[in-house]
Amino acid sequence: MSFYENTLHHMQAAAKTMKLDHEVLERLSHPEKTMIVSLPVRMDDGKLQVFEGYRVQHSELRGPFKGGFRYFPDVDLDEIKALATEMTFKCAVTGIPYGGAKGGIKCHPKTMSAGELERLTRKYVQAIYQIVGPEHDIPAPDMYTNPQIMAWFMDEYSKLVNKYQPGVVTGKPIEVGGSVGRNEATAQGGVYVLQEYMALNNLNPEGMNVIVQGFGNAGQIMADLLHDMNFTLVGVSDSKGGLYNSKGMDPNAIAKTKKEKGSVTQSKEGEQVDGEAILEKPCDILVLAAMENQVTEENMKSIQAKVIVELANGPTSHEADNYLTKNGVVIIPDILANAGGVTVSYFEWVQNMQSYYWPLEEIQMKLKRIMSEAFQRIAKLQNDHHCSMREAAYISAFDRLEKAMTLRGDGANLRCKID
């Protein structure tokens, strides 16, 4: 099952549980707009290379389109449609006034120079600038895009519209309109949600083992935060493999080794294991912070974690989700667990629009409130509908989206009769 099909299955399951009007589901099962662009870029060796780029705008029922864009060799339209759809639901889950979008370029960013990446980014902006903007569609960083790339995007867009427009993207460097707290927001939001779950179930971090799959920006920060809360980090992985130590590891030492030698596998903190095998090691909490479709029919029966936190987008297939849930594994779904990133992106956009910037303490306070309220709303819906946390999260989002449709006069309940 593709990532997009997987997303539709999650939507359909929640719609069935809440008895959602079929026309609402039908409307939200299709993106509003899809753009595919060709991007000719002069490479450092003087040769011309043409890249394929995408921007999918899923829904603006609740506000401007919002969603990151990624640079990755396996990017395709199906993946971008799935991510754009998830963004719509993620924003609705938290209650922030955005719709969903996503973008991407099929490329190998690790093999490209800074100059090549800058030229590619500016070409992408030139190709899509007429459909983005601070009040229409606000991109952000995603896989293998970063604050520097956001700065190039903002600069090129500002030149094209002849006006300084910091609010066209979020995730920028602080020096050009970025927000404090944005870099760690995805992980911090995940921690706030996990804390709510543990408080609800009277659980204590001490003595609980954690594995973090995907030791990139979000995964590394998540590992640090959980370690500081007295969780025991027993496993980590990156694209080159995994590391496991049942007695516990220091994430700071692992991060230092990765920076110096290129992979967590070079650290002496634990024993090397296969990157996929790390998912099957014993632990209390498994944090999925890598890519989509990591826990599937192939490995679901080997998962030993009691709780899964989806810090990545779509890391659990529909089949694995059903199997694990039926067997007592709690899955804190992506559209809740990793919504801290888009929430602080919203804060950054608000600050850009009013040219007034908040201190870190205020950012964290606002983020904690939004994530806590989202969890509590979902926990109540889960209890009311006797369903999984994922279904409850989609039900929460569907409820807000359906109300927006109806109130705008554009909903499934406002049918026109043809004489």
Active site residues: 102
Fill in the DSSP letter of residue 418.
-
Residues 359 and 171: their CA atoms lie apart, in Å, by 16
Query: What burial class does residue 198 get, using C-beta atoms within 10 Å of its C-beta: 0-12 exposed, 13-18 middle, 19+ buried?
Result: middle
Q: Which residues contact 23 (CB under 8 A, 6 or more apart)?
A: 412, 413, 415
Q: Which residues contact 144 (CB under 8 A, 6 or more apart)?
A: 70, 71, 72, 109, 110
Beta bridge partners of 330: 307
What phi and psi, each to the nearest 5 degrees, are found at residue 97? -80, 65
Taking every pair of Cα atoms in the chain, the longest distance, rounded to a whole number of angstroms, is 75
Q: Give the type of residue at 307.
A: V
Residues 365 and 41: their CA atoms lie apart, in Å, by 43
